[in-house]
Amino acid sequence: MRESRNSLRNMEAREKKIRDITFLGIIINIFLVGLKIITGLLVRSTALIADGIHSFSDLATDIIVLAGARVSHRPPDETHPYGHKKFETIASQLIAFALIGVSFGLIFSAGISIYRGKVSYPGFFMLVVALISVILKEILFFKTRRISRQIQSASLYANAWHHRSDSFSSIAVLIGGVASLLGWGHADHMATIVVGLMVMGVGGKIFYETLIELTEHSADRESIEIIERVLAEEIGVSNWHALRTRKLGGELFVDVHVLVEPTLSVLKSHKISVTIEEKIRKRLKRPVNILIHIEPA
C-alpha cells in the first residue's frame, strides 16, 4: 500500500513538472507567434512570417505534450494493466513528424524562393525580433531538456528539440537578415535550407528512438549493468537468470528470476526480493516496475 501511494505521488510530481514547463512554453510561443507574424507583415519579411508559423507548430506540439502527459499518467486499469505510458511515446512520434514536416516545408519554401529569384531585404527591425526569439527559445530548450532528463520523459525531450528547431530557424532569419543588410538577397533562404536539414535530422533521430521503444526494446546498457551489479552483490542470492527489461514512456519494467537457498523461509526470500527492488530503484533514480521470481538454488 505504501509503495502504491509513493508511486502515485511520483507520477503526480512527474506530471506537474511536464505541465509547468509546457505551460511556460505555450505562453512564450503565443508571444512569439504574434510578434513574428505581425512584424513580418509590417516589414514584408516572408522569412519572419514563416518563422512565426514555425512557432505556431511549437504551440501545437506543446498541446500534444500536455495531452500525452495527461493520458500517459492515468493509473493502470482493466484494459491497460501496465498503465498508459505508451501514449507518451506516441506523443513523441507526433512531435517527430511535426519536426520533419516543418523542416521539409522550410527547405521547400526556401528552394522555391531561390529558384524564382526572389530576394529579401527586410531591414534592421527583423534582426531584433529574431534575436529575441533565439534568446527565449534557447532558454526554453535548456529548461525543458533538463527536466526531461530528470524525469525520463521522451515526449518532453522531443519537445525540447522542437523548441531548439524554432531557435535554429530564428538564427537562419537572423543570419539572412544580416546578409541582406550587406546586399545578398538569398542569404536567408540558404541559411533556412541548412537549418531545415539539421531539424529534419533531429526529428528523424527522435522518431527512430521512439519506434525502438514501441517495439519493446530493452533498457540501455548502463541501466542493465546497474541491475546486474545489484543482483551480483546481494548476499542472499545464489544466482539469477532470465533478466528482461523494457521501457514504457519514462518507466522501466524489469523481470528477473532469482535463485536462493532452498531452506530459506518465504519471509526471508521475500525480504531479499524487496531489498533488491529498493537497491535497483535507488541506483537507477527513475521510475522502475520490478517483478522478481524467487526460485530454489
* pLDDT given at position 22: 83
Q: What angle do CA 186, 192, 193 make, to 5 degrees?
A: 95
Tell me phi and psi for residue 260, to 5 degrees.
-125, 170
Region at 189 (left for phi over 0; alpha for psi -120 to 50; beta for the rest): alpha
Domains of the chain: 2-214 (1.20.1510.10), 221-296 (3.30.70.1350)
* Cα torsion through 227, 230, 233, 237, rounded to 10: -90
3-state secondary structure of 124: helix
Residue with the three cell numbers 548476499: 235
Dihedral sign, Cα of residue 128, residue 132, residue 134, residue 135: positive
Cα atoms found within 13 Å of the Cα of residue 138, Cβ hemisphere only: 10
- At residue 1, the pLDDT reads 47
* Strands laid side by side in the 288-296 sheet: 239-248, 251-260, 288-296
Q: Is the separation of the CB atoms in 75 and 8 below 8 Å?
A: yes
In contact, 83 and 75? CB cutoff 8 Å: yes
Question: What's the CA gap between 145 and 159, in Å, rounded?
Answer: 8
**pLDDT per residue as tens, the chain (297 positions):** 444 555 556 666 777 787 788 888 888 888 988 888 888 788 777 677 777 777 777 777 777 777 666 666 666 667 766 666 677 677 778 777 877 887 787 788 778 877 877 766 666 777 888 888 889 989 989 998 888 888 777 677 877 887 887 787 788 777 777 777 776 667 667 767 776 777 777 778 878 877 877 777 777 788 888 888 888 888 888 888 888 888 776 677 888 898 888 888 888 888 888 888 888 888 876 677 888 888 887
- Strand boundaries in 178-276, DSSP class E: 239-248, 251-260
Q: Report the length, in residues, of the chain.
A: 297
Q: What is the pLDDT of residue 236?
A: 80
- What does the mean pLDDT of the chain come to? 78
Entry pTM: 0.59
pLDDT score at 46: 67
CA distance 164 to 139: 9
| β partners of residue 255 | 244, 291
Q: What is the pLDDT of residue 69?
A: 64
Phi and psi for 75 in degrees, rounded to 5? -70, 160
- The pLDDT value given to residue 8: 55
